[in-house]
Structure 1
């Protein structure tokens, strides 16, 4: 229960810091497809979004979200690791 409250508070703080109109439609879709603090592999995210190209995922979805700090890598020093996961912040 406390995790859910914390997640909601984090979401509110994040929304206050950045209006939704500054986010691309791709980033909005990515954030809607992910749950807070849950690690997702690239394949899992692609399945949730219904896309087939890793390059599309990286260029349109992950890179912008990572640059904005909305998503983080579980292994930041190895971005190409096969064990890499992404977490919504």
Structure 2
């Protein structure tokens, strides 16, 4: 792959029945993981408060030096509005 991944874009996804998982690329080394029940939400937008309703979302940072992911934020802990703001900031800064 020679082209860079557009920031904010979905890079991976998986569906198992009604549970769907997506990963979005935010900025170098930052990723957003989104889990949702697609019977309740068809196309959630992790960059808006309303889009995170009925979803579980996390932001992770990849540490290249130690080859591991570290947890940065979770929508149920900081609230959908703050999470969406942080995700949008990381995807557009």
Give me the TM-score of the superposition, normalised by structure 1.
Answer: 0.25
Structure with the largest fraction of helix: 1
Identify the structure with the greater strand proportion. 2
TM-score (norm 2): 0.25
